[in-house]
Structure 1
Amino acid sequence: MSMDAENTKPVTRIQREKHELILEAALDVFSQYGFRGSTIDQIADAAGMSKPNLLYYFKSKEDIHAPLLARILDTWLEPLRALDQNGDPLPELQSYIRRKLEMSRDFPRESRLFANEMLRGAPGFSDVLHTDLKDLVDEKARVIEKWMAQGRIARCDARHLIFSIWATTQHYADFDIQVRAVLGKERGGETRFEDAARFLDQLFLHGLTPKK
C-alpha cells in the first residue's frame, strides 16, 4: 500500500513531488526490465533517493507498480472512449488510429510497460481486463457494428478491427528499436510516425470504405 493510502493526514506538496518522482523513475525501470527484472534498489537509484527514503513512500515494488498500471490503462483507453458514435465513421476511425500512433510516439515507456504486463499474464490487470476494458470494447464494437449495418463502413469483425489498430499502432513503441534498425538512418527518425500514419490510413480506411 502506498503512502497515500496509509496516511489519513493531508499529503504535503513535498510528499506529492516525491511520490511523482518515484513513479517517474519506476516507469523508466519497469519499462526497461519488466516487473520481475526490476528492483527497489534500481528504482531508488533512478529517483536519486536512498532505498530507505523510497520505502517511506512505497512499501514494496508491487505498491509502486499498481498505480503506474492504473494510470497507463486509463491513458491507453482514452482514445477509444473518444470514438464518437454520432461522428462520421471513417474520420472517427482515422482520428482513433492517429491518436493511438501519437501515444506510441509520445509514451513509449508506458506502452512497453503495458505490453510487459500482458506478457506476464496481466496479474495487475486481470479484473479490469474482464470488466472495464471488455465493457468499453463491447460498447465501441456495437458503435462500429451499427455503422456497418447502416452501410457507412465495410463489414468486418469489429473487435478484431480494434485489436488490429492496437497491434499496428503500439508496434511503433514496443518494437521501436527494430523499426528504426530496419528503416535505417534516412527513414528511422521522427518522420517514421508520419510515414506510419499515412500507411495505416491507407490500410484501414481503404479497407473500411464501403464498396459501391
Structure 2
Amino acid sequence: MSTISDQSSNDPEGRSRIQSRNRETILTAGREVFARHGLRGARLDEIAAHAGMSKPNLLYYFPRKQDIYAAVLEEVLMGWLMPLDALDPDGDPVEELRRYISAKMALSAEQPEASRLFAGEILAGAPHIERFLKTDLRQLVEKKAGTIRRWVDEGRLAPIDPYHLIFTIWATTQHYADFDVQIHAVLGKQAGRAGFHDQAAQAVLSIILKGVAPR
C-alpha cells in the first residue's frame, strides 16, 4: 500500500519521488474510471481501489473528485498536443506528417481510455476545458495550420485546407480508441490479433499521406 511519509524531493512543486509516483498512479486510475463512468458516475472509492491505495491517502493528493478529473484532462491534452507542437516547419512536410500521424496512432493504441475520456468531455460541451480549447489549443492549431499552408504555397504539399487536414488526422487516429467496440464488431477476431494496430497505422498513413503528397 502506498504511503506519504517520504518528503525528500527535487520536484519543482516540492513533492517527493513517492508522492509524484502516487500522484501519477492516481491519475492513471482516474483516467480509466472516468473513461468508463464519466465524471458524474465515477466514485473516489473505485479510483482509490484502482490506484491500490486507501481513500484517505488518495484525498491527501486530491481533495475532490473534480480535482482528479481536471488533472487527468490536462495531462491527456498535454500528451496529445506535444506531437503536433513538434511539427518542424523546416522539415520535410510528408515526413513531418508521417511522424505526427504515427504518434497519434500510437497514443490511440496505448491510451484508449484517455481518448474516450476526452471524447466524453467534448460531447458534454467541454465544461471543464472550454477555455483551454478556445485559447491554448486554438493558438497552437493556428500556428501549425500556418506551417501547413506555407508548405502548400511552396508546392511541397497538395492544395489542402490545413485545418481540415488536422481535423481529419484527429478524427481518424482517435477513431481506433473511441470506436473500438464498433471496430471489433465489424472485424471480429482480426481486430484482436497481434499487429492489428501496426496494420491500421500503415493504412491510415497511406490514405492520408497519398492525399497530401504534391501532385
- TM-score, normalised with respect to structure 1: 0.88
What is the distance in 2 between the residues matched to 1:85 and 1:14? 39
CA contact (8 A) 2:121 2:127 kept: yes
1:52-131 counterparts in 2 under 5 A? 52-131=56-135
SS in 1 for 2:193: coil
**Is 2:163 the partner of 1:150?**
no
Deviations 1:48-102 (A, max 9, x none): 3333332232211111111111111110001101111101111111111111101
Q: CA deviation at 1:10?
A: 4.3
CA distance in 1, matches of 2:17, 2:95: 43
Do the aligned partners of 1:115 and 1:174 also contact (CA within 8 Å) in 2? yes
Counterpart amino acid of 2:149?
E
Which residue in the other structure is 1:195 paired with?
199
Structure 2 unpaired stretches of 5+: 1-12
Classify 1:60/1:91 alpha carbon distance in 2 versus 1 (closer, same or farther; 3 Å). same
Candidates 13, 31, 34, aligned match of 1:30: 34
Deviations 1:101-158 (A, max 9, x none): 0111111121111111111111221111111100110001001101111111111111
| Aligned CA distance change for structure 1 residues 206 and 19 (closer, same or farther; 3 Å) | closer
TM-score normalised by the chain length of structure 2: 0.87
In structure 1, how many angstroms separate the alpha carbons of the residues matched to 2:212 and 2:59? 52
Q: Tell me the CA shift for residue 13 of structure 1.
A: 4.0
SS at match of 1:22: helix
CA contact (8 A) 1:29 1:42 kept: yes
Calculate the aligned-residue CA RMSD, in Å.
1.9
Alpha-carbon separation, structure 2, partners of 1:72 and 1:26: 12
How far 1:208 moved relative to its partner?
Answer: 1.2
- Give the 3-state SS of the residue equivalent to 1:65 in structure 2: helix
Q: What percent of counterpart residues are identical?
A: 50
Figure out how many residues of one structure are paired with residues of the other and give that number.
204
CA contact (8 A) 1:105 1:172 kept: yes
Q: C-alpha separation between the residues in 1 aligned to 2:192 and 2:28?
A: 27
In the alignment, the residues of structure 1 paired with residue 151 and residue 15 of structure 2 have an alpha-carbon distance, to the nearest angstrom, of 48
The one-letter code of the counterpart of 1:40 is L
Mark the CA change 1:50 to 1:144 in structure 2 (over 3 Å): closer, same or farther: same
Q: Deviations over 1:142-201 (max 9, x none)?
A: 011011111111111110110000000011111122212321213532322222222212
Unaligned runs of 5+ residues in structure 1 are 1-8
The change in CA–CA distance for 1:138 and 1:168 in structure 2 (over 3 A counts) is: same
Distance 1:44 1:201, change over 3 A: closer
**CA positional deviation for 1:43:** 1.4
Question: Which protein, 1 or 2, shows the higher relative CO under an 8 Å CA cutoff with sep ≥ 6?
Answer: 1
- Aligned to 1:210, the other structure's residue is in SS state coil
